[in-house]
Structure 1
Amino acid sequence: MIVDRAYAHLASLDAEEWPWSVPCVRELVGDGLRFRSAVTFLVGENGSGKSTLVEGLAEGFGLDSWGGSHDWRHSSHRPRSALGERVRFDAAPGGRAMLRSWAARKGFFLRAETALDALDREGFAPDSVSHGEGFLAAFRGKFLQPGLYVLDEPEAALSFTSCLELLGHIDSLVKQGGQVICATHSPLLTALPGADIVEVGDHGMRRVAWENLALVEHWRRYLDDPQAYLRHIL
C-alpha cells in the first residue's frame, strides 16, 4: 500500500460552507479516513459526496482534477479545490519514499466525465475506439506500476464483461504494489475479494460488508422482480 490514512488539514471550518458542509468531508477533517486494504470502494447515493471526496484525495496526492497521470498534474489549468488544497496523507510502509517527494509520486485519476479528454492527452486517441474501450485502454496502458490510482465511477462506460476485466486489472495492480480508491455504484466492482467498502452519506463514512450494502439489496430485488419497483414510477 502507498497511503495509510488521508485527512484534511484545516485550522477551522464553517460547517455551512461547501465542501465542509458535506458530512464525509467533515469527517475527513475530523477523524480522517484510514485505509485497511489496497482497494477501497466508496459507495453512496448521488449527492452523498463520494465524488467530491475522491477528487479531493486525487488532488491532494498531486493528480490533476481533470484526470490523467501524475506526470500531467495541473495540465488542465484548473486550480485545486478547497478540499484538494488541504488533503494530507500518512504513508504506509511501502509508500514512504513516494510520499516524501512530489517527483516520486505515481498514479492516475480517472473520472467518468472527463476520461476521454484525459486519455487523449495521454496519447490513447480515444476517438478511434468506443467510450468503454477508451477506458480499458487506460487500464491496460497506465495501470502498470506501484502508485495511487483514484477512480470516479469507472463502470459508467463499461459493460458487464468489461467491468470484470477492470477487476482483473485492479487485482494485478495491487499485487504489484499499487493502491486503488474507487467511487462506484457497482455491486459487481465492490464484490472484489479483500476490498474495503466505505459507505458515505448523511452519517459521514462507515464501513459496510458487501452483502449488507443497500445497492446490492436493491439490485437483487430489482432483478428478481422489476415490477415491484417499476409500478411506483411508471
Structure 2
Amino acid sequence: MKLTKETQYIRSVRLEKPEDNEFPFSLPAVQNLQDELIFHPNVTYIVGENGMGKSTLLEGIAGALGMNPEGGTKNFNFSSYDSHSNLHHYLKLTRGVHRPNDSFFFRAETYYNLASNIEALDQDGFGPKIIDSFGGKSLHQQSHGESFFATFMYRFQGRGLYILDEPEAALSPIRQLSMLTRIHELVQEGSQLIISTHSPILMAYPEARILQLNADSMSDVTLEETDHYVTMKQFLEDKDRFLHHLLKN
C-alpha cells in the first residue's frame, strides 16, 4: 500500500548549523537547507547541474540515518577513500511514526566498492551469503547495468526507505524505463524513495516531487520545467542547429 503523509518514513530534513563558508556548507544544496526540505511520501527527486551538492546532500541524509556513506545499509562499514563530509552531524531529520522494514543507500559512484566489499565478506563469512539477497550472482560478473538492476530488483524488498544517487549512470534508456516500473512497484509496496538524477526519463514518475537546485535556490518544478528536460527536448527537436553551434570552428 502506498505511503501517505501520515505513514511516510521521513518527513523532512533541515540544517542545524550557523552559516559556514567551508565545504560542505558552501554548497547550494546545503545552504538551501536553512529552510526545511519536505519529502514526498512516495518519491522525491533532487535535480540540478553538477557541483550543486546533490550527492553530498544524499550522502548526508544517508549518514544521518546511520547508513554507510559509500552505499549499502547500516550493516556496511567499509570505506575505500575517506572523502566523506561531516554534513550528517548537522542534519535534523523529522521522522514519521512508522519505521521502514528495509533501507538502502545506492550510490552509483562507489557501487564497485560495494560489490567488492560484498565479495570479501562472503569469502570470510559463515552462513547465508550476502550476494544471495542481490540475486545470487556475483555483481562483478555482470555488466555494470545488470548489476545495478540486480540491486533494484532483488535487494530492494519493499516497505523500505531507499536513497538513490544517480541510479541511471549505467542504465540504457530502455533500462531506465524498466526502472520507472520498478519504482512504481516499490511505491505500491509501501516504499519511500529519494533520488538524485540527471535523467528526464526517471524524473517522469507521476505525482513525485521534483526539487531543482541552482546556485541560489531550490524550487519545486514540473518535469517539463527542469533544465534537463528542456535541453534534451530542444536538442531532439532541432539537432542540427545545436550541432552547428556546438561544433562550429
TM-score interval for Structure 1 and Structure 2 normalised by the shorter chain? 0.7 to 0.9
Residue 119 of structure 1 aligns with which residue?
Answer: 115
Deviations 1:46-104 (A, max 9, x none): 111111111111111111111112322x3327586211222221112434xx5xxxxxx
Residue 102 of structure 1 aligns with which residue?
Answer: none
Residue 23 of structure 1 aligns with which residue?
Answer: 28
Residue 103 of structure 2 aligns with which residue?
Answer: 107
**Among the aligned pairs, what percent are the same residue?**
37
> Post-superposition shift, 1:8?
2.3
> Post-superposition shift, 1:152?
0.9
> Post-superposition shift, 1:36?
2.7
Residue 68 of structure 1 aligns with which residue?
Answer: 72
Aligned residues of 1:40 and 1:181 also touching (Cα < 8 A): yes
Give the 3-state SS of the residue equivalent to 2:114 in structure 1.
Answer: helix
Work out the CA distance in 1 between the residues paired with 2:53 and 2:201.
Answer: 21
> Post-superposition shift, 1:232?
2.1
Q: Please list every run of 5 or more consecutive structure 2 residues that lacks an aligned counterpart in the other structure.
A: 1-7, 119-129
Residue 130 of structure 1 aligns with which residue?
Answer: 143
Which amino acid is the alignment partner of residue 2 of structure 1? Answer: Y
> Post-superposition shift, 1:158?
0.2
* Bigger Cα displacement from structure 2, 76-85 vs 214-223: 76-85
Q: 4+ residue stretches of structure 1 with deviation over 4 A?
A: 77-80
Give the number of the structure whose alpha-carbon radius of gyration is greater.
Answer: 2
1:206 aligned onto 2:219:
yes
Residue 151 of structure 1 aligns with which residue?
Answer: 164
1:186 aligned onto 2:199:
yes
Work out the CA distance in 1 between the residues paired with 2:113 and 2:84.
Answer: 18
TM-score relative to the length of structure 1: 0.88
- The total of aligned residue pairs comes to 222
* Bigger Cα displacement from structure 2, 217-226 vs 81-90: 81-90
**Residue from 127, 152, 167 that aligns with 1:139:** 152
> Post-superposition shift, 1:215?
1.1
Aligned residues of 1:2 and 1:148 also touching (Cα < 8 A): yes
**Residue from 43, 47, 71 that aligns with 2:51:** 47
> Post-superposition shift, 1:4?
0.5
Work out the CA distance in 1 between the residues paired with 2:46 and 2:141.
Answer: 32
**Residue from 13, 16, 27 that aligns with 1:9:** 16
TM-score relative to the length of structure 2: 0.83
Work out the CA distance in 2 between the residues paired with 1:24 and 1:127.
Answer: 33
Which amino acid is the alignment partner of residue 18 of structure 1? Answer: F
Work out the CA distance in 2 between the residues paired with 1:127 and 1:59.
Answer: 26
Aligned residues of 1:68 and 1:119 also touching (Cα < 8 A): no
> Post-superposition shift, 1:111?
1.2
